[in-house]
Amino acid sequence: MSDFPDRPGARPEPAEIRGFLHYSGWLTGDEQRGILSDLRAVARAAPLFSPMTPYGRPMSVRMTSAGKFGWTSDRSGYRYAAAHPSGTAWPPIPDSILRVWRAVVPGAREPECCLINYYGAEARMGLHQDRDERDFTQPVVSISLGDDGLFRIGGTERGGRTQSLWLRSGDVMVMGGPARLCYHGVDRIAPGTSLLLPKGGRINLTLRVVT
């Protein structure tokens, strides 16, 4: 277990993994704590909820969103919605999060959704594609906070070989270009590997252009 000491000097360069760009330790400790504070304000306005899959099973992650749209799921299917299940509008995406997007994907359109997933110790996310958006030329940016998560990357078709890596607190991942529609998921969480969240767990933010 380790805290997140601030790192002097330039931001790390990304490593390419199957077309994904992995910025290891991109966020400093202060930046992570600032984002976490902003996320608490988002969750007060739009509380975390446990979505149901179209197959009638609850997802193991809890989620909420910020931005013009939020992602949700129920018996009607996976989709973006203009309001939280409570009926309230999603809060705006905090500037601390938008700064990450603008730094790692300069020139991309501004994100319209920040999906916030909270993973407890037993939570998983099966292999899936992000294809509920209308413009696949725009990237998806992922920010990891809290406990380590074992992230798995496949190809653009189901089946075949996959590759896994541990995403740690402060890591940023960019999924764009030919890798935009690659299958990906989270196989497991490593409890106790982070001091960022007082009660443990992992928060993953994914920024998307929806329209």
Where exactly are the structural domains of the chain?
Answer: 15-208
Beta-carbon contacts of 116 under 8 Å, excluding residues fewer than 6 positions away, are 39, 42, 43, 48, 63, 64, 65, 66, 203, 204, 205
Q: How far apart are CA 146 and CA 38, in angstroms?
A: 15
67, 111 contact by CB (below 8 A): yes
Residue 16 has pLDDT above 70, yes or no: yes
pLDDT digits (tens, 9 = 90+) for 21-61: 999 999 999 999 999 999 999 999 999 998 877 776 777 88
Phi, psi for 145 (deg, rounded to 5) = -135, 140
Q: Tell me if the domain spanning 15-208 has CATH number 2.60.120.590.
A: yes
Where does the pLDDT of residue 6 fall: very low under 50, low under 70, confident under 90, or very high at 90 and above?
low
User: Can you read off the two tokens belonging to residue 31?
Assistant: 């930046």
